[in-house]
């Protein structure tokens, strides 16, 4: 007996099915029903096991929601120390303002040694007038 590659030991399609134009044999219902019943039993057993576990730990499904913090508590929660940056926008703006003030103004770097800082614009003018030292 030769097979036609469709997994049956029969030599080909049923002559009656060929004459009618479609399969006359339906799928084998037994294994399908057995698989559906097995899945149903598995689902039922898993619910029973979950109920037993919840009951043995003393928790119920209603109890789990009380453990979650409220939205206001989550918003007001402050991280533990050290809190390095509490507000990135305000801190960033302050850093930029301090740097701009220092770059655009006069001030002491080391008063004991007589070292100062000057605005960038003035420093560029001095470099154009005097040149760079050592060149």
Q: What is the phi-psi region of residue 23: left when phi exceeds 0, alpha when psi lies from -120 to 50, beta otherwise?
A: beta
pTM, whole model, 2 decimals?
0.32
Res 41: pLDDT: 98
Give, for all 135 residues of the chain, the pLDDT tens digit. Answer: 444 445 555 567 778 888 888 877 777 888 999 999 999 999 999 999 998 988 888 776 665 555 555 566 666 777 777 777 777 888 889 999 999 988 899 988 899 999 998 998 998 999 999 888 766
Res 57: pLDDT: 85
Res 16: pLDDT: 83
Q: What is the phi-psi region of residue 78: left when phi exceeds 0, alpha when psi lies from -120 to 50, beta otherwise?
A: beta
Rounded CA separation 95/86 (Å): 14
């Amino acid at each position: 007996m030769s097979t036609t590659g469709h997994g049956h030991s029969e030599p080909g399609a049923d002559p009656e099915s060929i004459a009618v134009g479609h399969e006359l044999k339906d799928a084998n219902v037994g294994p399908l029903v057995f698989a559906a019943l097995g899945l149903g039993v598995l689902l039922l057993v898993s619910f029973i096991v979950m109920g037993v576990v919840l009951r043995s730990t003393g928790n119920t499904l209603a109890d789990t929601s009380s453990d979650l913090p409220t939205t206001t508590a989550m918003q007001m929660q402050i991280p533990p120390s050290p809190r390095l940056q509490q507000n990135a926008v305000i801190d960033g703006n302050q850093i930029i303002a301090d740097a701009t003030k220092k770059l655009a103004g006069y001030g002491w770097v080391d008063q004991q040694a007589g070292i100062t800082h000057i605005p960038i614009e003035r420093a560029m003018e001095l470099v154009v007038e005097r040149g760079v030292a050592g060149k």
